[in-house]
Amino acid sequence: MKYPAVQNVIAGAPHNSALHEVDVFNPSTGTVLSRVPMSGHNEVDLAVKAAQKAWPAWAATPIKERVQVFYKYKALLERDIAQLAALITEENGKIDSEARAEVLKAAELTEFACSLPQITAGEVLEVSRGVECRIERFPLGVVASIAPFNFPIMVPNWSMPNAIALGNCFILKPSELVPLSAIKIAELLREAGLPEGVFQVVHGGKEVVEAICDHTGISAVSFVGSTKTAKIVYRRATATLKRCLALGGAKNHLIVMPDADVEMTSGNVLASMSGCAGQRCMAASVMLAVSNVDSIIAQMVLKARAMVPGPDIGPVISAQSKERILHYIEEAVQHGAKILVDGRHAKVAGQENGYWLGPTILDHVTPDMRIAQEEVFGPVLVIIRAGNVDEALRVENASPYGNAASVFTESGSIARHVMEHASAGMVGVNVGVPVPREPFSFGGWNESRFGVGDITGRGSIEFWTQSKKMTTKWNREAGTNWMS
């Protein structure tokens, strides 16, 4: 075991408890990296109590002072980028350039949190003669976030800097598959000067999540993960009258028109489906090939075949995940899909026990196949042929998910048509991964998001605060009216 067993971070210190632990694997080698405690109600309760103790002082700290911690934290993320990226690669598997991009994105999210004093300045208006209304934002109290395995640094930073800068105390439940990065986040926040109890980490799985949903001392929960779990969390957290925003899985469709640029489109679609081994909620999953786009497909196939597992594409997260993905591919082939690029036998010398898969592209998939409907979450692209853009949009619209959709075209009117009619919360034109960057908010539609609002950017301000509407009258000489 390369690292000692990870511990919870409660009240500013590592918290030891005699808990059942599970192994944390390095997906590139299949070896055990560390162990993670499977906490439950007691650990959540301890963290809530420590947060409740820290909260009054933190909430009373002016926002301009609170964000000073995040200026330092951002500098620390940049200082430690190589070490953080190496840790992400070890526990998640993604290649170094992807891991570095994840840390840089965390820095960008933190930069947004640093701008919150400017963005959240209140509103004031004389609404009647001598009567003034103002709106101020107040934090909620103790809040929690539950994270998935695919972005061990970025996803916790979607919510943490904003929620804390806005005056909340924050409990993170990282994925038990990637618990090491969360400990590093806690260390950097401590070094940046965050008071103890304002950020805490409780490790584990289902039991901790249920304890967070049920705990009446927690006011709001954000969740990112699969749709199946998002539904469980949304239902359970709102049952105890918490605010909840639960982001779920995805099945993203990329519509490729015959006028699309061959070089750019083939490169972008491939990068979208294979980046982070296809384990991104924004990954291309279905290419809707409109009319004849065979030259683009041929170019993409050439590029995909040239990708080398190891340097160009990392492993998937676990042996079970690899099995599941292989099953989808095999079933599609049995039902008549034609395999253009076959990544099923990918191997990396010296890392034979890693969970490797190469990019896999399947053509002539039909909308009724399971692989066309369900989230595969691996480096697999299916091509569905469509006669025109509306036929393609019908396939996209029929998906229960709604995270992202893109169109590749040189036509402004086709681009506009797709932007208007795709049933997805994030839509791109000639962009393989249409992630909105700060200050724009991240969030899907349909079964890719439960709750109101978005998780990052301006959208998150509403989620992590409550507004107070204050009406005052000081100049009595202004007279009386119906408000008097």
- Residues annotated as catalytic (active site), given as ranges: 281
Cβ closest to ligand NAD, residue 145 vs residue 409? 145
| Site stretch for ligand NAD (CB under 6 A), options 123-131, 189-197, 241-249, 296-304 | 241-249
To ligand NAD, the closest distance from the beta carbon of 218 in angstroms equals 15
Name the nearest CA neighbour of 90 among 157, 28, 171: 28
Assess 226 for contact with ligand NAD (CB under 6 A). yes
Cβ closest to ligand NAD, residue 358 vs residue 444? 444
CB 453 within 8 A of CB 104: no
Assess 247 for contact with ligand NAD (CB under 6 A). yes
Assess 232 for contact with ligand NAD (CB under 6 A). yes
User: 378 in the Ramachandran plot: left (φ > 0), alpha (ψ -120 to 50) or beta?
Assistant: beta
Residue nearest to ligand NAD (CB): 225
Assess 426 for contact with ligand NAD (CB under 6 A). no
Cβ closest to ligand NAD, residue 69 vs residue 276? 276
Cβ closest to ligand NAD, residue 221 vs residue 340? 221
Assess 424 for contact with ligand NAD (CB under 6 A). no
Out of 149, 170, 234, 408, the only residue in the binding site for ligand NAD (CB under 6 A) is 149
| Site stretch for ligand NAD (CB under 6 A), options 42-50, 243-251, 307-315, 359-367 | 243-251
Out of 90, 375, 396, 447, the only residue in the binding site for ligand NAD (CB under 6 A) is 375
The angle that helices 457-464 and 154-165 make with each other, rounded to 10 degrees, is: 50
Assess 315 for contact with ligand NAD (CB under 6 A). no
CB 30 within 8 A of CB 353: yes
| Site stretch for ligand NAD (CB under 6 A), options 63-71, 115-123, 171-179, 257-265 | 171-179
Assess 444 for contact with ligand NAD (CB under 6 A). yes
Task: Report the largest interatomic distance among the alpha carbons of the chain, rounded to a whole angstrom.
Answer: 85
Name the nearest CA neighbour of 362 among 324, 336, 387, 398: 336
Out of 244, 281, 381, 382, the only residue in the binding site for ligand NAD (CB under 6 A) is 281
Q: Give the span between the Cα atoms of 120 and 109, in whole angstroms.
A: 16
Instruction: List, in order, residues 6 or more apart from 156 with CB less than 8 Å away.
Output: 145, 147, 172, 174, 181, 182, 185
Assess 206 for contact with ligand NAD (CB under 6 A). yes
Q: Give the span between the Cα atoms of 213 and 40, in whole angstroms.
A: 12
To ligand NAD, the closest distance from the beta carbon of 311 in angstroms equals 24
Element (H, E) at 200: strand 199-201
- List, in sequence order, every residue forming a beta bridge with 363; answer none if it has no partner: 338
Instruction: List, in order, residues 6 or more apart from 416 with CB less than 8 Å away.
Output: none
User: What is the total count of residues that contact ligand NAD (CB under 6 A)?
Assistant: 27
Assess 176 for contact with ligand NAD (CB under 6 A). yes
DSSP H helices, 399-456, are: 412-421
| Site stretch for ligand NAD (CB under 6 A), options 40-48, 148-156, 379-387, 391-399 | 148-156
Element (H, E) at 304: helix 294-305
Cβ closest to ligand NAD, residue 168 vs residue 279? 279
The angle that helices 412-421 and 389-398 make with each other, rounded to 10 degrees, is: 20
Cβ closest to ligand NAD, residue 98 vs residue 176? 176
Assess 222 for contact with ligand NAD (CB under 6 A). no
Cβ closest to ligand NAD, residue 104 vs residue 478? 104
To ligand NAD, the closest distance from the beta carbon of 137 in angstroms equals 24
Out of 103, 224, 270, 346, the only residue in the binding site for ligand NAD (CB under 6 A) is 224
Assess 225 for contact with ligand NAD (CB under 6 A). yes
3-state secondary structure of 281: coil
To ligand NAD, the closest distance from the beta carbon of 249 in angstroms equals 3
Assess 150 for contact with ligand NAD (CB under 6 A). yes
| ω into 439 cis (within 30 of 0) | yes
Cβ closest to ligand NAD, residue 359 vs residue 444? 444
Q: Kindly list the strands in the beta sheet with 131-139, ordered across the sheet, starting from the edge strand earlier in the chain.
A: 123-128, 131-139, 465-473
CB 396 within 8 A of CB 422: yes
Per-position b or e across 270-300, b if 16+ CB within 10 A of its CB: bebbbbbbbbbbbbbbbbbbbbebeebbebb
3-state secondary structure of 364: coil
Residues in contact with ligand NAD by the rule CB under 6 A: 146-150, 155, 173, 175-176, 205-206, 209, 224-226, 229, 232, 247-250, 281, 375, 377, 403, 444, 448
